[in-house]
Amino acid sequence: MTLFSSIFGVTAQQIDQIKILEPTNYKNAINNKNVQLIDVRTSGEFNSGHIKNAQNVDIFKRKAFVAYFKKLDTDKPIYLYCRSGSRSQRAAKLLVKLGFKEIYDLKGGYLNWKSK
């Protein structure tokens, strides 16, 4: 185990599979194709505003969260976001464990999205 992985609890493989995108790049990516776009915030947060076409899958509802993602195509890119980026990073690490190969996370989350 490397120093990096022991400090941050991630492996090099996870780092390769999870990409953090600036809002402009994220917007371009989700607007240019039919993507798996997931908001991992609570339903209350989602209902107060979200990115168009996003599905709400609350990371705090762990069983339902895992069950939802087991139905998705692990070979297809997935785009995640939360309020500020913390929960979506946790979700991304969980998705690596579930077999997803290409995960994109919105840098700074929905707060950063709204401010741009």
SS3 content of the chain, % helix, strand, coil (to 5): 45, 15, 40
82 counts as catalytic: yes
Q: Which of 37, 54, 82, 95 is catalytic?
A: 82
Residue-wise DSSP of 74-104: TTS-EEEE-SSSHHHHHHHHHHHHTT-S-EE
Active site positions, annotated = 82
